[in-house]
């Protein structure tokens, strides 16, 4: 009950996915479950582990039943949450071992409960600026820059399915359309979750294309066996800002393509969520570049016949 209510307050009331949510809530859950267990009992690590695991399972089911989150987000946060629950258990055990007086133990645990909503309020009122992250993927293609460039501003539908079960529920590119040529042309990158409009800011045929992203569609499609989930983090917490393709001519009529995306994610702690975001962006890059590689090399083979 505590975990479900705390998540609801952090995401729906304060609308902030930060340290209080991903560190504070599971830490306090671990402390509370261990604290309630050791009341008039001799500490047994095996029993505490079972009780804590049961609490985590019930909390997950409650989040799904209340449609506060979907399975994808819970899976991605699972490692961090489970680790912090364990830390909370260890802290509660340490308090019990060091502080013999029950009254003093109660005061310390109550202090932890009071600090959590205060931390949520502080994070919500003083949001940190999310850093802009740059990620580049490089791919060599057996085709000339002229043949590759034809599929840089726009490309046809990518018919191959995403690589993994998780990738199927993350936003992935389907095709790209463009109106006009040169600086100011408008691109529409069609994703599995919606359309991402873009404006070309640099146009250098066979060498370089840059664009500014106007709007980013939802980052994923959440899955919940109890119904549709419209979690706050699906919109506005991950934003692509701009992108770039750089083509470099290589010997023997080959081309090196560098795809770069600048983006930010307003979810903390960054040290945990940044690798996950980079992995997702890398899969998007690879999906697009593999498709461009296929089309360009097909044209090169046709030309050589």
Share of the chain above pLDDT 90, in %: 56
45-65 vs 71-98: helix crossing angle, rounded to 10: 150
DSSP label of 233 = G
**In this predicted structure, which of 83-92, 157-166, 234-243 has the lowest mean pLDDT?**
157-166
Q: pTM for this structure? A: 0.89
Q: SS3 of 259, please?
A: strand
Q: What is the structure's pLDDT at 215?
A: 95
Read off the pLDDT band of 253 (50, 70, 90): very high
Query: Where are the CATH 3.30.530.20 domain residues in the chain?
Result: 133-304
Q: Facing residues of 132 across strands?
A: none
Q: What is the structure's pLDDT at 230?
A: 80
Q: Which residues contact 60 (CB under 8 A, 6 or more apart)?
A: 74
| pLDDT tens figures, 8-25 | 899 888 888 999 999 999
Read off the pLDDT band of 27 (50, 70, 90): very high
Looking at every residue in the chain, the average pLDDT score rounds to 90
φ and ψ at 172, to 5 degrees? Answer: -130, 150
Asked whether the predicted pLDDT for residue 102 surpasses 70, the reply is no
Higher pLDDT, 78 or 223: 78
Q: What is the mean pLDDT of residues 95-118?
A: 73
φ and ψ at 153, to 5 degrees? Answer: -65, -35
Which of 3.30.70.260, 3.30.530.20, 3.40.50.300, 3.40.50.150 is the CATH number of 133-304? 3.30.530.20
Share of the chain above pLDDT 70, in %: 94
Kindly state the helix (H) or strand (E) to which residue 53 belongs, with its residue range.
helix 45-65
| pLDDT tens figures, 222-235 | 888 888 888 888 88
Read off the pLDDT band of 114 (50, 70, 90): confident
| pLDDT tens figures, 177-212 | 999 999 999 999 999 999 999 999 999 999 999 999
């Amino acid at each position: 009950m505590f975990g479900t209510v705390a998540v609801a307050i952090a995401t729906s009331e304060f609308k902030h996915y930060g340290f209080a949510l991903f560190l504070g809530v599971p830490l306090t859950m671990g402390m509370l479950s261990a604290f309630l267990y050791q009341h008039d009992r001799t500490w047994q690590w095996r029993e505490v582990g079972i009780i804590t695991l049961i609490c985590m399972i019930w909390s997950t089911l409650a989040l799904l039943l209340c449609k506060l989150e979907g399975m994808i987000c819970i899976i991605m946060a699972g490692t961090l949450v489970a680790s912090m629950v364990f830390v909370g258990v260890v802290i509660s055990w340490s308090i019990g071992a060091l502080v013999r007086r029950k009254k003093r133990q109660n005061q310390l645990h109550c202090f932890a409960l009071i600090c959590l909503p205060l931390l949520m309020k502080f994070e919500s009122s003083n949001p940190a600026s999310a850093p802009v992250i740059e990620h580049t993927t490089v791919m060599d293609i057996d085709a000339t820059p002229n043949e590759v460039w034809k599929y840089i501003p726009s490309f046809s539908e990518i018919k191959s399915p995403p690589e993994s079960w998780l990738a199927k529920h993350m936003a992935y590119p389907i095709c790209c359309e463009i109106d006009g040529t040169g600086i100011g042309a408008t691109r529409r990158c069609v994703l599995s979750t919606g359309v991402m409009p873009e404006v070309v800011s640099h146009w250098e045929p066979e060498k370089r294309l840059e664009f500014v992203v106007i709007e980013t569609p939802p980052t994923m499609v959440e899955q919940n066996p109890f119904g549709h989930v419209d979690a706050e983090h699906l919109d506005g917490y991950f934003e692509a800002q701009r992108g770039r393709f750089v083509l470099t001519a290589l010997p023997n009529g080959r081309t090196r393509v560098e795809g770069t995306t600048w983006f930010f994610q307003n979810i903390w702690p960054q040290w945990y969520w940044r690798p996950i975001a980079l992995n997702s962006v890398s899969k998007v890059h690879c999906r697009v570049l593999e498709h461009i590689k296929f089309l360009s090399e097909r044209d090169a083979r046709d030309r050589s016949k």
